[in-house]
Structure 1
Amino acid sequence: MQDWSGGDSAIAQGWSATIAAMDGVLNGAVIVLERTLFFTIGGLPLIVVWLLVGATFFTLRMGFINLRGFRHGIDVALGRYDTPDEPGEVTHFQAVATALSATVGLGNIAGVAIALQLGGPGAIVWMTLVGLLGMSSKFVECTLAQKYRILRADGTVAGGPMYYLSHGLETLGLKPLGQGLAVTFAGLCALGGIGGGNMFQASQAYIAIAHLLPGLADYRWLYGLGLATLVGLVTLGGIQRIGSVAGAIVPSMAGLYTAAALWVILVHSTEVPNALHTIWTTAWHPQAVGGGVLGVMVQGIRRGLFSNGAGVGTAAIAHAATRTQEPVREGLVAALEPFIDTVILCNLTALVCIVTGAYQVAPDTALGFEIVALAFGSALPGFALVLTAAVCLFAFSTIVSWAYYGEQCWRYLTGDRSPLPYRLLYIGATFVGSITQPSAVLAFSDMMLFAIALPNLFGCLLLSNQVGRDLKDYWQRLQSGKMPVHGIQFHPK
């Protein structure tokens, strides 16, 4: 815990005491949640098994839609199937950008470095597998979000797990179960987003800036005030403004990060074959890694799931707002996210850290961000500044995206009442996260964000037959050429 004031004022002391008390109250809850969610089954934590089993089932049930629908998903994201009169608030591209902005960032940068530290290079194989399987989970949950969304009188959209759990399961004669799962999801998501999606991001962005500007420590409150103001300006504009901001930040920062990573890999091109060989062999025969093969699998799977959020359900809230009349179409677009997030960006980060040897030469006390900064700095002197900017922008886009997720959950829980109280609470939490790091609050919210996968995936499994039927109908119409296309038409084989 850090004192944000740099002095011994009564306000600073009072604030520190308040946070300490908060930490103490939540520590017990964190322990209970952690023991439950990370209860191991054959060495794998329960929540990891749950997400992995769900992703595998959806991949098989939907006929490997993660592979056969890949090209069509790109066509849809590029707007080739858009029509101007479709209901919704954002475009396919903006929905993807919003959902990606909530996951792309610290998980792809610091998270990958941590996986290398704890699991070795072989963890990347399992991280990639999780990304590919997670595409099917994203497809199912985002298709359901579109199928059961609600168009409000003012033209805005209400959708996500809360609605397909309650309304979808009602169609199966499971109304009480559906309502219980929906309320559980909404409550955990609204509270968890304030911590993990907001306060943690604000704190980590400050750490990245302070790494370059140590003098900022005396003005941490000013940083917090500025960030909270920016978050307020964006989030008060709703999903349309959030989508516009995310649509500008995510492609530019992801593109810059990808270009820099490819340059580092090119500079160390002679090391690439050896790096790939090391990744593959240590996935099955790890060297000096605690837990052997199972330890490598656990680290790769956990980090992959954390990176793309497939099966958690939050991305479905953003995709519910897309302008389309075809739920399956939006599911196919959403399936691209784990591929971009985990298969591409995480693997690039891993290769950069491996070919430069940064994950081996970095001090044991080094944080994930510091390892990646060391790796890029070896080939791009001065890139630490650009990397810091990228981390901060990724963190900011994550904060504003989670504001929308939390707000939609708030509106569901309160019977669609005004979201202003939640918005003000969220903006205030941004400031709090900027000036301090209440460890128990963040740990508790992190556990809740894992916990929301339990009701979400359970509902998706029960509703998977509906998605399967809709996919079959959509694919037949697509193959027959009956769908209007703008630009180049793709006929799947």
Structure 2
Amino acid sequence: MYEDARMIGWIENTLAGLLADLNALVFTSVPIMGVNVTLIVIWLAIPMFIFTIWLGFINVRALGQSVRIVRDKTVDEDAPGTISQFSALTTALSGTVGLGNIAGVAIAIATGGPGAAFWMFVIGFFAMTVKCMEVTLGHKYRTIDPDGSIRGGPMYAMKNGLAARGKPRFGHLLGWLYAFFALFGAISLVQVNQSYVQVAGVPGCETGTIYGIIRAALVGLVVIGGVTWLGRVTSMLVPAMAGIYLIGVFTIILTNLGQLPDAIATIVGDAFTGGAAAGGMLGAFVIGMQRAVYSSEAGVGSAVIAHAQAKTREPASEGLVALLEPFIDTVVVCSLGAIAIVISGTYYGGEDIGIVSDAFARISDWFPILLAVAVFLFAYSTLCSWGFYGLQAWGYLVGEGPIRDTIYKVFYVVTIPVGAILPIQAVIDLVDSAFFLMCIPNVIAIYIFAPEIRREIRGYLERSRAKRNEETTP
């Protein structure tokens, strides 16, 4: 414990200056109706609403087509890419369906009241459009090397897309900024921190450093294996971890079914009155918006890196596959988790994932162990995916090669234990800052390429509709 205390002190002092500078930049706020609304919340909310309307609610119209693409088991083996569209989806989901969906909901409700969960649901719905747009753009302008390997992500979309428009310098600047911020965003300290909170509470583990080292070793095995191995692991982990967590959530809801209407009424009612949230309705919205961004990562651009690896010749088809991510991780998983927390009434006085653990404990003494398993898997898959994301950003900044790649992989794995010993608020501040800084160049690129993205999506939907008509015509 003494060693942990010394390490915590050193890390907190080291990060203090960095956090102060980042927070001053990222969390600059303006007073609206008595509530300080951060500029980054406004920056993200506006495109979500505008583009959803501008694309004719593509998040509703194309949902069926998204499901058809994922269910289609045929893969164009001659198409550029390294993994199937389904594997790209599970890889991206493993980076988003993580502790942001468990701890994120708990933190949102604890700080913003039950109404914050309602706004997470709303933002998740509109986030589907932005996720579709950024992935369509990223897939279209990915870099395909002569050996068939793929380099993708918002940084390559900005670089290649703007170069095609005769603005290579501007594209290089935006790409460099995004990749630089992504290096910080890839250090998924929240996953380690909150998974340790839960695991420590169940089996009795008391040493964060040892837990962090074990976690780092397990993540290193997958990170070293590369994207193909990552795709295989996430294809198995994502359904398993989501299933385990939802079993617990549904058990809580079903055993308290009579309280379900009251729980939903509490969430919806508090969203507009904000009785539990400082600043009322707007305060609940701001908190819900911040946590929904971390949960869905729409506008952050991170999932573009995974989807760029997909085998398909249709960028918009991959964009529609990505549309499912916010629907699954925020609209469905977060909403169910929020209902379970409110039904249990465990959010009073809590501040982190312990709220969820207490809700599980209401069912049975051993139920928190079920949550611990789910949390461990959630955090593990997310850490593996973000290791790959960070590696792509690193490669963009310094160039690729075996030695350079190894340097980053070692750095990434070594930083993992830090999350297990830092206080939760320090972790949240650092991650929020990095995530929201990534949104700045990414959203600029979405605005610039919006007309091109819309043409791409419309063209694909028309071709898909014509193909289905041909198949059904006798």
TM-score tier (shorter): over 0.9
Gapped runs of 5+ residues in structure 1?
6-11
Distance 2:27 2:379 in 1: 26
Of 198, 203, 209, the residue aligned with 2:193 is 203
Match of 2:138 in 1: 145
Change (3 A) 1:21 1:379: closer
Change (3 A) 1:279 1:433: closer
8 Å contact from structure 2 (residues 263, 343) kept in 1? yes
Change (3 A) 1:154 1:181: same
8 Å contact from structure 1 (residues 186, 409) kept in 2? yes
Q: Moved runs in structure 1, 4+ residues, more than 4 A?
A: 2-5, 434-442, 482-485
For residues 67-124 of structure 1, the C-alpha deviation after alignment (integer angstroms, 9 at most, x for no partner) is 1110111111122563333221111121111111112222111221222222222222
Distance 1:247 1:401 in 2: 12
Please give the secondary structure, in 2, of the residue aligned with 1:310: coil
**TM-score normalized by the length of structure 2:** 0.92
Match of 1:312 in 2: 300
Shift, 1:3, TM fit: 4.2
Q: Does 1:417 align with 2:393?
A: no
Which has the larger displacement, 399-408 or 100-109?
100-109
Change (3 A) 1:436 1:52: closer
Of 266, 270, 294, the residue aligned with 2:258 is 270
Of 170, 178, 181, the residue aligned with 1:185 is 178
Of 194, 207, 212, the residue aligned with 2:202 is 212
Query: Structure 1: which amino acid aligns with 2:222?
Result: V
Of 261, 282, 296, the residue aligned with 2:284 is 296
Distance 1:342 1:109 in 2: 10
Matches within 5 A, 1:337-356: 337-356=325-344
Shift, 1:436, TM fit: 5.8
Of 60, 83, 93, the residue aligned with 1:67 is 60
Shift, 1:300, TM fit: 1.5
Match of 1:28 in 2: 17
Gapped runs of 5+ residues in structure 2?
none
Change (3 A) 1:24 1:435: closer
Please give the secondary structure, in 2, of the residue aligned with 1:108: coil
> RMSD over aligned Cα, in angstroms?
2.3
Please give the secondary structure, in 2, of the residue aligned with 1:44: strand
Shift, 1:222, TM fit: 4.0
Please give the secondary structure, in 2, of the residue aligned with 1:83: coil
Of 448, 452, 467, the residue aligned with 2:434 is 448
**TM-score normalized by the length of structure 1:** 0.89
Which has the larger displacement, 288-297 or 476-485?
476-485
8 Å contact from structure 2 (residues 301, 439) kept in 1? yes
Of 476, 480, 485, the residue aligned with 2:466 is 480
Query: Structure 2: which amino acid aligns with 1:257?
Result: Y
Match of 1:9 in 2: none
For residues 272-304 of structure 1, the C-alpha deviation after alignment (integer angstroms, 9 at most, x for no partner) is 111122222222123243211111111211111
Distance 1:70 1:87 in 2: 25
8 Å contact from structure 1 (residues 81, 484) kept in 2? no
Change (3 A) 1:302 1:344: same
Of 381, 385, 393, the residue aligned with 1:401 is 385
8 Å contact from structure 2 (residues 190, 424) kept in 1? no
Of 199, 207, 215, the residue aligned with 1:227 is 215
For residues 422-467 of structure 1, the C-alpha deviation after alignment (integer angstroms, 9 at most, x for no partner) is 0111111124444666976774354122200000110111011111
Q: Give me the identity figure in percent.
A: 37
8 Å contact from structure 1 (residues 76, 82) kept in 2? no
Distance 1:376 1:21 in 2: 35
Distance 2:292 2:466 in 1: 37
8 Å contact from structure 1 (residues 3, 436) kept in 2? no
Change (3 A) 1:4 1:402: farther
Shift, 1:187, TM fit: 1.0
Query: Structure 1: which amino acid aligns with 2:67?
Result: I
Which has the larger displacement, 470-479 or 322-331?
470-479
Change (3 A) 1:354 1:431: closer
8 Å contact from structure 1 (residues 4, 436) kept in 2? no
Shift, 1:260, TM fit: 2.2
